[in-house]
Chain A
Amino acid sequence: MKKIFCILLCSAMILTSAPLPAEADNGYINVYNWGQYISDGTDDYIDINAAFTKATGIKVNYMTFDSNESLYTKLKTGGSTYDVLFPSDYMIAKLIEENMLAELDFSNIPNYRYIDEAYKNQAFDPENLYSVPYTWGTVGVIYNDKYVDEEDIGSWDLLWNEKYSGKILMFDNPRDAFAIAESLLGFDINTEYPADLRASAQKLLEQKPLVQAYVMDQIYDKMEREEAWIAPYYAGDFMMMVEENEHLQYYFPKEGFNLFIDAMVVPRNAQNKAGAEAYINFLCDPAISGENMDYLGYSTPETEAKQYMDEETANSPIAYPSQEVLANGGSFLNLDVSANQEMDALWLQVKTMGSLDSYGHVNGFEIWAMALLFVGLAVYLTAHRIRRRRRIAQRCAKWKT
């Protein structure tokens, strides 16, 4: 019986592990992208992956992540291989530094020529050997104008406003969260000074009691249902949310904000590099990019693509802000290892503990209650034992007489 069970379990495991790329089949590429970050055929938009398979015969194994950090962890812990990734600028720099990316063969990506010069040769990939820009965008504050007063908006400090306690959401990744605190405190968003990082962490701790939850993709649901009223997030996602709830508004905080580029890269251990490059090339096709961005709401790095987009989206001041607004934005650079570790450690302390120094306080009541429970049980147990022993002794005595 156990054998059968074992065989069943094994076969179940083999069957369920099928989507993991075990064999290097030319007909497959494994794509690892952000959640809700490609037009997938809903609401009559184009299904990009299906269109790609139709055009090239290469099937797409599509998987998603929810932050640059979880992407990095997944790559580091290994176990699965991917062919195309979509990290953000600072994470690309980190991956390049750690020698985890493959150099692209640009002769396989002729559509690269459509990418605007402004998005080529960025600081994260100065010679543009490893990456092809997919989207760009800004981080700002999304709020619900039904509940939030107009006079409170304009600055990042809305996220620290006690009036809206419990209705504020916050990024669930250290880099974005620290950048907000750093902007508010007047530090550079790429600061590596431990003192600055500590001060920012302290600022985030101050905010913690007001925060409803630290979230990433769940933000859509919470903001659209009005469970939360205020959240910092990416402009492109705001464009999607506002279609579900017209009370949502967006603004660029006056202290400055993050201006990011998400680009497509191929990891060094990719099993189908040619397929991956074909996929990148396909996504760079202006018509595809235009239709894709129409759905996504993120900004395209190709001016050429705008003609294929909905007029309203292509002219949106939120997706394509003026140069004046953009001048206030700053890009993330890769931090050095120690600053990164410091930030990770501080972030974890912010999220899991009540303070930076004392590691939170022990709840005295809980300790006393538990101690009392244990003592009570122990007393009962010993009393019970003694009583029983006495009873047995009595009975023995009775029998003996």
Chain B
Amino acid sequence: MRTKRLAVPYLIWMVIFTIIPLGIVLYFAFTDSVSHAFTLENIIRISNYMPVFINSIWLALISSLLCIVIGYPVAYYIAGRSPAMQRFLYMLIMLPMCISFLLRTMAWVSLLDDTGIINGFIRTLGLKPLPLIRNNGAVILGMVYNYLPYMIMPLYTVLIKMDRRLIEAAQDLGCDSVQVFQRVIFPLSIPGILSGFTMVFVPAVSTFYISQKLGSSGTTLIGDVIESQFKAAYNPNLGAALSLVLMILVFICIGITNKFSDNDEEVVTI
């Protein structure tokens, strides 16, 4: 009973700031902006934005996969150090997150600009400046840079909590280090990969700041469209419908990833 009462403040919070706003989004998505009558037009008009949706998902997917490729070895390395070293390295991973996300993206802009620091250096070497900014690569770089800690954190947590005895048992039973990784460590770290993937993919697919700063006038993500529906076009209904569809897409993605993790234990009882 006591625990129930403790949860009340948060439940109230959740109702006011999650459930009710969600209802408002639903209401907007299914009503007309002028007459406020029920309509499906907003949802139908979304099909126009399919290329933007696909592009957003594609870029977010690439960034998430890159985060796994980059983040896994890092988490593995950290998990293998002494506790003091672990704390230090973990802090280093977390440190950039203490600085504002907007500021860090702006910093990338001044690094990558045609007149930026990197191209300035290239120019002093007498070479031709590189097109570093305003392309998909720069957007992916921004996503990976900003969201990598979200991948490393769950991976590190999973790896550090892993039962060492399982690894020792595998070694005793004659596995070499590749086999140990392949058959014990990797399967056990899948939940970490999945939660890391979700934590990177979800913010990456809905970002608008990164694409606005690092992308070209052609790289428009679904976040940009939603933002401009509210800010410039004053069409909150279409904006709400877009957010709703994005949310459903994200749910589907999470659902698919969760499919991988329902690892029923390989324990056999008679």
Contacts and interface: CB of A to CB of B under 8 A. Distances in A.
A396 B269 CA distance: 8
Given A6-B10, A227-B115, A388-B266, A69 B49 contact: no
A232 to B, nearest CB: 15
Contact of A370 (B61, B220, B266, B270): B61
Given A345-B233, A366-B54, A6 B9 contact: yes
Contact of B266 (A172, A363, A392): A392
A225 B233 CA distance: 31
B232 A348 contact: yes
A214 interface: yes
A345 B229 CA distance: 10
A279 interface: no
A73 B230 contact: yes
A361 B113 CA distance: 28
Contacts of A400: 270
B225 interface: yes
Nearest to A73: B234
A174 B6 contact: no
Which has the most chain B C-beta neighbours within 10 Å: A353, A361, A395? Answer: A353
Interface string B34-65: 00000000000000111110110110010000
A348 B230 CA distance: 11
A208 interface: yes
A362 B115 contact: no
A370 to B, nearest CB: 6
A163 interface: no
A359 interface: yes
B84 interface: no
B82 interface: no
Contacts of B9: 2-3, 6
B13 to A, nearest CB: 6
A193 interface: no
Interface string B221-232: 000110011111
Interface in B186-207: none
B13 A352 contact: no
Contacts of A395: 268
Given A69-B234, A359-B49, A399-B268, A373 B61 contact: yes
Contacts of A186: none
Interface residues of A, number: 53
Interface residues of B, number: 39
B3 to A, nearest CB: 10
A11 to B, nearest CB: 13
A324 to B, nearest CB: 36
Dominant secondary structure of chain A at its interface with chain B: helix
Given A3-B9, A353-B52, A381-B260, A69 B232 contact: yes
Nearest to B113: A227
Interface centre among B54, B234, B235, B266 (most CB of A within 10 A): B234
Nearest to B131: A166
Contacts of A392: 266, 268
Interface in A153-206: 166, 170, 172-174
A343 to B, nearest CB: 10
Contacts of B234: 69, 72-73, 76, 344
B231 A70 contact: yes
B127 interface: no
Contacts of A363: 51, 54-55, 58
Nearest to B260: A381
Contacts of A354: 51, 218
Interface in B1-55: 6-7, 9-10, 13, 48-52, 54-55
Nearest to A360: B51
B124 interface: no
A352 B217 contact: no
Nearest to B61: A370
Contacts of A214: 217
B266 to A, nearest CB: 7
B266 A391 contact: yes
B217 to A, nearest CB: 5
11 contacts: A2-B6, A2-B7, A69-B231, A76-B234, A208-B217, A226-B115, A227-B113, A227-B115, A360-B52, A363-B55, A370-B58
Given A69-B231, A213-B217, 17 more contacts: A170-B217, A173-B232, A174-B232, A211-B217, A212-B216, A225-B115, A344-B233, A347-B233, A348-B228, A352-B220, A359-B48, A362-B50, A363-B51, A370-B61, A373-B61, A381-B260, A400-B270
Interface of B: 6-7, 9-10, 13, 48-52, 54-55, 57-58, 61, 113-115, 134, 216-218, 220, 224-225, 228-236, 259-260, 266, 268, 270
